[in-house]
């Protein structure tokens, strides 16, 4: 059964291997023009999550995106042939890139995995790359490049990135 979004300007239906949960909002099926994943579930969006304009799911044949509940994807580019998992109550700002490779391109996405916990907040134009395991409640500053583990509750910012705040207090400057 083909599914069209009521408000959509783009004529394509929601692809069969995309699951959108109850109460969630997707701006347009234009988000899937480069979704070439052959998985049964290429994109799974939980309940009450908003996926807004300019978000783009560029997925190679093995690509997989899992987004939890009550999250806001303000306008992210996913370009991967791996797996990106995003938790609940996560805020992702504009022009954030989740890449399977530091030099990701359509058709050459790279296949490293990315994990984002619950209650994470990611600032505008941040770049999230394979190796990123972002703990619950962490904050990623604007334009920060993350390809490493971020402990729960920490704030990382800058390029090269550093921990500017941890749950125990403000980190000493390196």
Partner 1 sequence: MSDAIRTHDSLPPGVQLGEGAQLDCADQTFKRFFSRRRPGLVLGPRVVVHTWTAFSVEPDAVLEVGEESVLVGAQFMCGERITVGRRVLISYNCIIADSDFHPHETMSRREDTIAISPQGDPATRPPLETRPVVIGDDVRIGVGSMILKGVRLGRGVVVEPGSVVTRSIPAGLRVAGNPARVVREP
Which residue ranges make up the site for partner 1 (CB under 8 A)? 33-34, 36, 77, 79, 95, 97, 99, 102-107, 125, 127, 129, 143-145, 158-160
Between 103 and 168, name the residue whose CB sits nearer to partner 1. 103
The residues, ordered by sequence, that sit 6+ positions from 119 with a Cβ below 8 Å of its Cβ are: 87, 88, 89, 90, 136, 137
- Shortest distance, position 107 Cβ to partner 1, whole Å: 6
Query: What's the rounded Cα separation, in Å, for the pair 125 and 45?
Result: 22
- Reduced 3-state DSSP string for 24-68: CEECCHHHHCCECCCCCCCEEECCCCEECCCCEEEECCCCEEEEC
- Shortest distance, position 148 Cβ to partner 1, whole Å: 13
- Shortest distance, position 69 Cβ to partner 1, whole Å: 27
The residues, ordered by sequence, that sit 6+ positions from 160 with a Cβ below 8 Å of its Cβ are: 145
- CA torsion sign for 49, 106, 132, 140 is negative
- Shortest distance, position 152 Cβ to partner 1, whole Å: 23
Between 110 and 135, name the residue whose CB sits nearer to partner 1. 110
Between 35 and 71, name the residue whose CB sits nearer to partner 1. 35
Between 43 and 46, name the residue whose CB sits nearer to partner 1. 43
């Amino acid at each position: 059964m083909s599914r069209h979004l009521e408000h959509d300007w783009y004529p394509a239906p929601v692809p069969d291997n995309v699951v959108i949960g109850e109460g969630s909002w997707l701006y347009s099926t234009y988000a899937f023009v480069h979704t070439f994943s052959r998985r049964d579930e290429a994109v799974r969006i939980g309940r009450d999550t908003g996926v807004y304009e300019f978000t783009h799911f560029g997925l190679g044949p093995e690509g997989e995106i899992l987004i939890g509940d009550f999250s806001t994807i303000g306008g992210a580019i996913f370009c991967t042939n791996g797996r990106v998992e995003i938790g609940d109550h996560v805020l992702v700002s504009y022009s954030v890139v989740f890449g399977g490779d530091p030099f990701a391109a359509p058709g050459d996405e790279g296949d490293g995995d990315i994990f984002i916990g619950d209650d994470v907040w990611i600032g505008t134009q941040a770049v999230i790359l394979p190796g990123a395991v972002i703990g619950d409640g962490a904050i990623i500053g604007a334009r920060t490049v993350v390809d490493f583990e971020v402990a729960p509750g920490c704030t990382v910012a800058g390029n090269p990135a550093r921990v500017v705040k941890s749950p125990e207090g403000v980190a000493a400057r390196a």
